[in-house]
Amino acid sequence: MSSIKQASVAKFKEKVAVIGIVGLGYVGLPLMLRYNAIGFKVIGLDIDSSKVELLNSGKSYIEHIPGEKIEVARKSGFEATTDFARVPECDALILCVPTPLNKYREPDMSFVINTTDAIKPYLRAGQIVSLESTTYPGTTEEELLPRVQEKGLRVGENIFLVYSPEREDPGNPNFETRTIPKVIGGHTPACLEVGVALYELAIDQVVQVSSTKAAEMTKLLENIHRAVNIGLVNEMKVVADRMGIDIFEVVDAAATKPFGFTAYYPGPGLGGHCIPIDPFYLTWKAREYGLHTRFIELSGEVNQAMPEYVLSKLMDGLNERGKPLKGSKVLVLGIAYKKNVDDMRESPSVEIMELIEAKGGVVGYSDPHVLKFPKMREHHFDLSSEPLTAEVLKDYDAVILATDHDRFDYELISQHAQLIIDSRGKYRAPQSNIIKA
């Protein structure tokens, strides 16, 4: 047993191991680049042949990852493939696949299960399998463990299984894959030891926890902490607005306290793959134990109500100008879920657009990071980004600042927009054409 473990650990320490990244998206691609940069051979596996073709031709499909980095990786040995028969070449298989919710807000584990089933026939002794997808506590034990062992391999003896949640923050210039500490839990102590060897050369700080369940719960707590606090400040925003108080001024003032307070800012709702989704993984799993996660569910309700709140502010603003929403032209500024990225997942901007259309408004959008509205599973708009000019702004009855990209010209917007619904607190000084939302 220990000889297989020691051989695996030695391969990673000596950088002769082959790293397999399964799922080449916002998590998998930065991880591939990091391992490639420190001298590992990396094979990328993905079921999307168009992604594989782009990567193999040295191109990127994620805005904040330049094609030049992909080209450098290709020249130094990285290759992408849709052929899962390449799995035996890999000493590590790091799974970076989506874990969305279904329409009943229950975990959709199909990507994790299908991916594990795809690699399962090719697993061999000496490999380590690491799941990075955010999920409920128990997933690694309940879903991956039996599949990995199905053909006679024994986890902790001749194959190793860990959970190490991704912590990517796309578009954040202050952190990168290397500098974000990595939490890791193993199914056994031997699994943990091999897992640490896998990650410690690529990541500055590896944080060990006692089990895969503890690592899974750690990731959920991080995102639940954000979801609950954003829900709190969104509720405070509504109260402050009714009282004639600027919530952004209040948060800024509270943030001067050097202890006991963390600044969270309100917005038009929650977006991205993590904060709107991950808390409900715990809500779902807690039911198995007869428990109700009331904080999580309440914050979810508050945050999900924010697009409707923005809509109500839009309708009030148009009404004051003698215009109904029906037939009015409304420009949504920013449809990515957060500033300075092209990621559309769970973006509240899209829900706002749908609400406007449902009330008879004519909607357009402007986003320098999303030039054409992408194909989405549940949302359909045949639109392209409008250029942000004085003429375009004047042509719309109202604009909604939904995502505060740095590339927007905020002075131009305030000068030429007839009505601005500011959901991001970008305009602090009172102006007759600006309504805070």
* Positions marked catalytic: 274
- What is the chain's alpha carbon radius of gyration, rounded to the nearest angstrom? 24
H or E element at residue 182: strand 182-186
Report the sign of the C-alpha dihedral through residues 273, 274, 279, 282, in that order.
Answer: positive
Owner of token pair 């420190």: 38
Angle, CA 60 vertex, CA 115 and CA 131 arms, to 5°: 25
Give me the helices (H) in 243-270, please.
247-254
Report the sign of the C-alpha dihedral through residues 272, 276, 279, 284, in that order.
Answer: negative
Q: From the DSSP assignment, how many helices (H) and strands (E) are in the chain?
A: 16, 13
DSSP string for residues in 213-227: HHHHHHHHHHHHHHH
H or E element at residue 406: none
Contacts of 63 (CB under 8 A, 6+ apart): 341, 342, 369
Beta bridge partners of 208: 184
The size of the chain, in residues, is: 437
Query: Is 435:313 a contact under the CB 8 Å cutoff?
Result: yes
Q: How far apart are CA 199 and CA 207, in angstroms?
A: 10
Amino acid (1-letter code) at residue 305: A
Angle, CA 247 vertex, CA 245 and CA 252 arms, to 5°: 120
